[in-house]
A and B are shown apart, each in its own frame.
Chain A
Amino acid sequence: GQNIDQPTEMTATEGAIVQINCTYQTSGFNGLFWYQQHAGEAPTFLSYNVLDGLEEKGRFSSFLSRSKGYSYLLLKELQMKDSASYLCAVRNFNKFYFGSGTKLNVKP
């Protein structure tokens, strides 16, 4: 089976840094992806890791440890528009298994 866990909800302050964790146990692994989803909208691709380590992309960074089945998404210099759900997804060949998402509330 596929098991992808992430916290349900987090709150952080504008300008701060927040780390959203994801742990996974899946039958196949071809990469770990992060998506952002605003309420009522489609998920949009943020970043992916296929090898261990940190990938940086502007204000967003994502880390992967395959041996630990663990990833995190780091958001820096938080802005109000970052309030959204963040979905961790594991790719198995050409399909994705998604976690339930972490709802991030950014407050002034």
Chain B
Amino acid sequence: EPEVTQTPSHQVTQMGQEVILRCVPISNHLYFYWYRQILGQKVEFLVSFYNNEISEKSEIFDDQFSVERPDGSNFTLKIRSTKLEDSAMYFCASTLGRTHTNYGYTFGSGTRLTVV
């Protein structure tokens, strides 16, 4: 079964540093998403991406965040200057089409970001 893959599985970074989280969505999918989950809290929507642009973003997704699809396979989330409160699990997901979320997402296994 096709999978969404994320790298790295765990990243530790110093406050103020830039980090890039990488995702390889399922190959024929067209919509891409990032969610985050702070330890012990709910899964929160960050951003959705389609046709090389952001289609929707939450209020969490401020100017420190950016997303990019640099080539035909990767989908990245960049945090420019990390803060302690950015420590969380970051999940990537993809769907074939907008309506295909009837089947729920397939999430990647996540990247645990620890900001020290």
The finding on whether chains A and B are genuine partners in a shared complex, rather than unrelated, reads yes
A residues with a Cβ closer than 8 A to B are 30-31, 33, 35, 40-45, 48, 50, 87, 89, 91, 93-101
Is there an interface contact between A101 and B109, defined as CB atoms closer than 8 Å? no
Which single member of B35, B42, B44, B101 contacts A94 (CB below 8 Å)?
B101
Q: Is the interface of B mostly helix, strand, loop or mixed?
A: strand
**In the complex, A44→B110 CA distance in Å?**
12
Which single member of A48, A95, A97 contacts B102 (CB below 8 Å)?
A48
Contact of A101 with B56 at beta-carbon distance under 8 Å, contacts A35-B104, A41-B109, A42-B109 already known: no
Is there an interface contact between A42 and B110, defined as CB atoms closer than 8 Å? yes
Among residues of B, the one whose C-beta sits closest to the C-beta of A48 is B104
Which single member of B31, B41, B105 contacts A96 (CB below 8 Å)?
B105
- Could you list some 18 contacts between A and B, CB below 8 A? A33-B104, A41-B109, A41-B110, A42-B91, A42-B108, A43-B107, A45-B104, A48-B103, A89-B43, A91-B101, A93-B56, A94-B33, A94-B101, A95-B33, A95-B48, A96-B35, A96-B45, A97-B45
**In the complex, A99→B42 CA distance in Å?**
6
Q: Which residues of A contact B48 (CB under 8 A)?
A: 94-95
Residue B95 CB within 8 A of the other chain: yes
**In the complex, A18→B63 CA distance in Å?**
44
Contact of A94 with B109 at beta-carbon distance under 8 Å, contacts A45-B104, A50-B102, A100-B41 already known: no
| Chain A nearest Cβ from B61, distance in angstroms | 12
Q: Which residues of B contact A40 (CB under 8 A)?
A: 112
| Chain A nearest Cβ from B84, distance in angstroms | 20
Residue B7 CB within 8 A of the other chain: no
Is there an interface contact between B56 and A95, defined as CB atoms closer than 8 Å? yes
Residue B13 CB within 8 A of the other chain: no
**In the complex, A101→B40 CA distance in Å?**
9
**In the complex, A66→B104 CA distance in Å?**
19
Among residues of A, the one whose C-beta sits closest to the C-beta of B4 is A42
Is there an interface contact between B105 and A45, defined as CB atoms closer than 8 Å? yes
| Chain B nearest Cβ from A39, distance in angstroms | 10
**In the complex, A89→B43 CA distance in Å?**
9
